[in-house]
Amino acid sequence: MSYEPSSQLYTRANWPIAAAMINYPGTLPDGSSVQDQSAEEWAATLEDVADAGFTELDPTDAWLRVADLSDSRLDEFMSVVHGKGLTIPGISTSRKNLIHPEKGAEHVEYAHRVIDTAAKIGAQSVCFGFFDLLTPAQQKALWFWTVDGDKAPADKDTWNLAVSRVKELGKHAAEVGLELALEMYEDTYMGTADSSVEFVQDVDLPNVGICADLGNLVRLHRPVEHWWSMMEKVAPFARYWHVKNYLRTEDETTGAIVTAPIPLEFGVINYRAAIRKALEYGFNSPFLCENYGGDGLSISGRNRAYLRRILPRERMKA
């Protein structure tokens, strides 16, 4: 098996739109891990996902590391997933920086397990990144993105190491028929539209593209490139797409910038326009709905319904 773009073009009726599990902790109040929960406990959580209107989910490894489950436990988990009427179109990793100074090699090995697991369960996509764990100051903040985190090394040798590691992962993903998306995130090699495009062009594999998570950038309390300018640049390379939106207010008289999470259709990013731009380049990958704060799952469910309204009814190959 090798990577081939899907011959079936998704429409609003069947487009995979997954729920992210970022609203559920991986460590429970009693100190136990979701990794060790029973099938019945997993089912209780996934019932929330189904009740929010989703037919797909991404387990998102901040909640559950499916790649670290034994074969029998993975089978058990997938039985729960299917029992709730759900499928998994993609697996995302969170804060497993592929070039972390101490743990980068370990994260790459883990990423290989994610790829094998994604192929085993019938997913289409995997998503990796270069962003680290939250710093203590970020953990204390109401919104972690209002505090600067770690920054990617500026030297070319580390950039080349990152390219080499992604190329290794991309080739593995292609061998098992998967696409690989790299998540846009501030102060990493995917921290701007220009650097994201440059990076995937350096990797130069047809199945490796950009997770155009513009929300990660427009939420910053600092000047950023306009979302439309970013979208125009990354649209040709868009793959598995994490979508979320933010209110963003900029006061030109004082320089103050304030952001906050908001449902997809109300934020500063016009997703109707952004998606149409990606469609011009044949975008045909799953979406992942995310939202921080409050009942993020319910807001993600609302965002799913919004996407269903604006996605095309029909599509034809060019």
Position 32 in a domain: yes
Q: CATH number for the domain including 255?
A: 3.20.20.150
* Residue 6 pLDDT: 75
For residue 6, the tally of other CB atoms under 10 A from its CB is: 11
**pLDDT tens-digit series, residues 121-153:** 999 999 999 999 999 999 999 999 999 999 999
| pTM for this model (two decimals) | 0.97
For residue 128, the tally of other CB atoms under 10 A from its CB is: 29
Is the pLDDT at 178 greater than 90? The verdict is yes
Position 54 in a domain: yes
* Total number of domains in the chain: 1
* Residue 65 pLDDT: 98
* Residue 156 pLDDT: 97
**pLDDT tens-digit series, residues 58-103:** 999 999 999 999 999 999 999 999 999 999 999 999 999 999 999 9
User: Residue 218: CA atoms inside 13 Å, Cβ hemisphere, count?
Assistant: 25
Residues whose CB falls within 8 Å of the CB of residue 299, separated by 6 or more in sequence, listed in order: 261, 263, 291
Q: How far apart are CA 94 and CA 150, in angstroms?
A: 15
Position 66 in a domain: yes
The structure tokens listed for 51 are 């009740």
Position 12 in a domain: no
* Residue 1 pLDDT: 67
Position 4 in a domain: no
Position 5 in a domain: no
Distance (Å) of CA 32 to CA 22, 29, 38, 69, 204 = 17, 7, 12, 16, 42
Mean pLDDT value of segment 210-234: 98
Domain residues for 239? 17-310
Among 43, 55, 4, 30, smallest CA distance to 289 is for 55
Q: How far apart are CA 96 and CA 111, in angstroms?
A: 9
Mean pLDDT value of segment 285-299: 96
**pLDDT tens-digit series, residues 266-291:** 999 999 999 999 999 999 999 999 99
Position 90 in a domain: yes
Is the pLDDT at 318 greater than 70? The verdict is no
Q: What percent of the chain has pLDDT over 70?
A: 99
**pLDDT tens-digit series, residues 227-244:** 999 999 999 999 999 999
182 neighbors 200 (Cβ within 8 angstroms)? yes
**E-assigned strands of the chain?**
17-20, 56-58, 90-92, 125-128, 179-183, 208-211, 241-243, 245-250, 257-262, 287-289
Torsion of CA 194, 200, 191, 27, to 10 degrees: 160
pLDDT band at 175 (very low <50, low <70, confident <90, very high): very high
Amino acid at 289: C
Position 315 in a domain: no
